[in-house]
Amino acid sequence: MIGDLKHRVTLQESVRASDGGGGFTESWQSLAAAPDVYASIVPLSGGEQLRYHQLESTVTHRITIRYRTDVTPAMRIVKDATVYDITSVTDQEGLGIYLEILAVAKTP
């Protein structure tokens, strides 16, 4: 598994700032602690996409990273020009070694 973690990605979280008119502006910033990690990024087949169908969006990729406690579905992963919106985060096999992240890919 460790040899499969060959893609360097950045973990980002949403930050809201007041716009002075009672609303807010949302932007994305890299995590403060170790935002760059190595990951395995695997596109899902059509059958897997149907199985992992989430509310309004279809999961397109399975991303695996080393285990950490600060990754949530409210975050996103960025690799080059592709943004992956996280839909779920699971401790693979419950061993605290790897996280399996299901995500929807978006390209600009």
| Token digits of residue 22 | 């009672």
Q: How far apart are CA 83 and CA 77, in angstroms?
A: 6
- pLDDT value of position 79: 95
Query: pLDDT (tens digit, 9 = 90+) per residue, 65-108?
Result: 999 999 999 999 999 999 999 999 999 888 999 999 999 998 76
How is domain 2-106 classified at the CATH fold level?
Thrombin, subunit H (2.40.10)
Q: How far apart are CA 30 and CA 35, in angstroms?
A: 6
Averaged pLDDT, 35-62:
75
- Residues paired with residue 28 on neighbouring β-strands, in sequence order: 14
Domain boundaries defined on the chain: 2-106
Contact 47, 77 (CB under 8 A): no
Q: How far apart are CA 91 and CA 97, in angstroms?
A: 8
pTM: 0.81
